[in-house]
Structure 1
């Protein structure tokens, strides 16, 4: 996204992608109205609509004693009163294809960054990739995720807020009469989410932090039993999880850098602030960071007048919405997720969620907080 926005302003951009393509599963698929609005502003709304995705205008949660609606997106303002569940590779391919039309944009695949290049006075002057090539640049932006190599070699250490859970990702087939959109199941020991991808479900099984080894020791059969306890309608196909190779562990982190930049380099997205999966906000916060970065730095980069001091403006713009969103995630982790992970008996609908289910106005407020977020960016 940042590369596309800068190239549209005439800035020479090189994007380094570690892999040969974007076709990797178990990545963020939740595209919120705030991001959909930005794509409209970019003129990419129709192209995105042509990609395979599921529109969901409400979020529901199923407990042992029934289901409740917790967010109603249908009355959000704007052209997109819904959340779009779209494989992340389709989203990234769209951006890459659009950027490739611009003469100042270049995408280099299979280029894993392993170090930064230092220039005069230690200022970052580019990066070095795993085959020894050097890519020199006036400014380097690290968008390489929660395990950021750029952040590590710069010696920047984020403040850790902790997370009580990890997530196991897997897939099972979906049938026409199965739930549509996002199916969230809550029970003793945690929760499971099934994301509708048309002919299969992408499933996220939330476990206690560090509990994966214990689950593996108990055996694959016991894990399948856990799945069917959460989602009985999957009982006749849970055998599709045939080995532990079909399961991917996401180690959840929630952290934020105190300093997002050094002379010559800036960090944004998960590299600057790893988000909890709660609310599915990660990709959307990263897009917001990219838009703010392009708006703040783009004109100066195009004119050759951008300075290291300008990098600090990005953090000043994006730190507040990031901190507020992370505070909400920390509260949800502490008050909702952590207690669920330690319950052993039936889990009935909590009183606050019953109130939420009976109060449409509260559902709309929840949808606005999740779907539009704090101080959404515009081009």
Structure 2
């Protein structure tokens, strides 16, 4: 049995950023990740300007810039009757773009940077499967070492659940999120990219589905939004035909995409009424699952981690975190979550139609706003920086100097 000041379940973006921030603040932290590495395909990988600014504050901007990535300064969303754009070129700060980078590269960078601190400990292939409790408080976790099959325990004044939309810690706490209607799911696949294909990222919203094409160099990462309950998730022929229609330049290679190449992601939007219990805090998708619309999930989770670190570091240094401090984290991040999810719900209801015979038209007021020259910049700011971006201030200020 080991002990630490904070144990984090989940080594995704939120968990790794929180671990890095706590360790650099002199707080001992152990991150338990249930997989042996970060190499998993088809994970969200849109890093927005808010996160890029954070990496600069952490002294990691140049290291991130060295990763293989696609930089997006403008996005065009095409509908059946017109287009609207997002322009990031006027964002404040150093970064006027979004970065599309494989998530495993991003997580490896965070892990390597965190490992430079003696206060950071990462244990991979360690699956959390129980909670330790004392006097009505959570005081640690039980886990299984998947390499050896042996059980282990880590005690801590605070357990943070950053273990995603299917959070084990959330289930162990008996917390149930409120779910909101999500009328679509998503089909992911790789499509070979050939010379002469367009550059950049392609977004197309139509009566038969929404298509996002991300340039990965020698292949496209394609995401096709489909209506739930239509049986399309198992219809590979329909998916290939639809993508070829929405992105005609791929039609000559769709026959090579088999059923095994198509992955299904169930889209969920939900959030907890309370993100904490005595001795435990939930952040990221464990507290609020996001739709992939606008690619905000990673960035919203990271903002949760920054807010949690800034608010909780003084208490963690003293060795006890009061419930009012955990509630402060939720109050800080509740409204950004609520507003972002509301926007996603509107978008999913109006941007992707379910009837193939009805053209998908630009919804009002977008048909009017698209004629305002400043609208692409306003939309770019909302997407690129999000609602209430977090910065390293207060107790975390020394981190900006490495």
Q: TM-score, normalised by structure 1?
A: 0.93
1:223 counterpart (239, 252, 261): 239
Q: How far did 1:370 drift?
A: 0.8
SS of aligned partner of 1:341: coil
Cα contact 2:157–2:321 (8 A) shared by 1:
no
CA gap of 1:348–1:254, structure 2 versus 1, over 3 A, is: closer
Alpha-carbon distance in structure 2 between the residues aligned to 1:365 and 1:155: 40
Partner in structure 2 of residue 188 of structure 1: 207
SS of aligned partner of 1:320: helix
Answering whether residue 37 of structure 2 is matched by residue 21 of structure 1, we say yes
Cα contact 1:3–1:13 (8 A) shared by 2:
yes
Deviations 1:104-133 (A, max 9, x none): 1011001111221222x2311111123421
Partner in structure 1 of residue 12 of structure 2: none
1:263 counterpart (259, 278, 281): 278
Partner in structure 1 of residue 90 of structure 2: 75
Alpha-carbon distance in structure 2 between the residues aligned to 1:223 and 1:336: 18
Structure 1: unaligned runs, 5 residues or longer: none
Q: How far did 1:333 drift?
A: 2.1
1:51 counterpart (55, 67, 75): 67
Partner in structure 2 of residue 274 of structure 1: 289
Partner in structure 2 of residue 6 of structure 1: 22
SS of aligned partner of 2:181: coil
Q: How far did 1:237 drift?
A: 1.4
Cα contact 2:279–2:321 (8 A) shared by 1:
no
Q: How far did 1:309 drift?
A: 2.7
Partner in structure 2 of residue 232 of structure 1: 248
Partner in structure 1 of residue 136 of structure 2: 122
Partner in structure 2 of residue 98 of structure 1: 113
Alpha-carbon distance in structure 1 between the residues aligned to 2:362 and 2:189: 26
Alpha-carbon distance in structure 2 between the residues aligned to 1:302 and 1:86: 34
SS of aligned partner of 2:327: helix
CA gap of 1:134–1:349, structure 2 versus 1, over 3 A, is: same
Cα contact 1:113–1:149 (8 A) shared by 2:
yes
SS of aligned partner of 2:226: strand
Partner in structure 1 of residue 355 of structure 2: 342
Q: How far did 1:376 drift?
A: 0.6
Partner in structure 2 of residue 377 of structure 1: 390
Deviations 1:316-373 (A, max 9, x none): 1111111111111122122333xx1224244455665454443221111111111111
Q: TM-score, normalised by structure 2?
A: 0.88
Structure 2: unaligned runs, 5 residues or longer: 1-16, 393-402
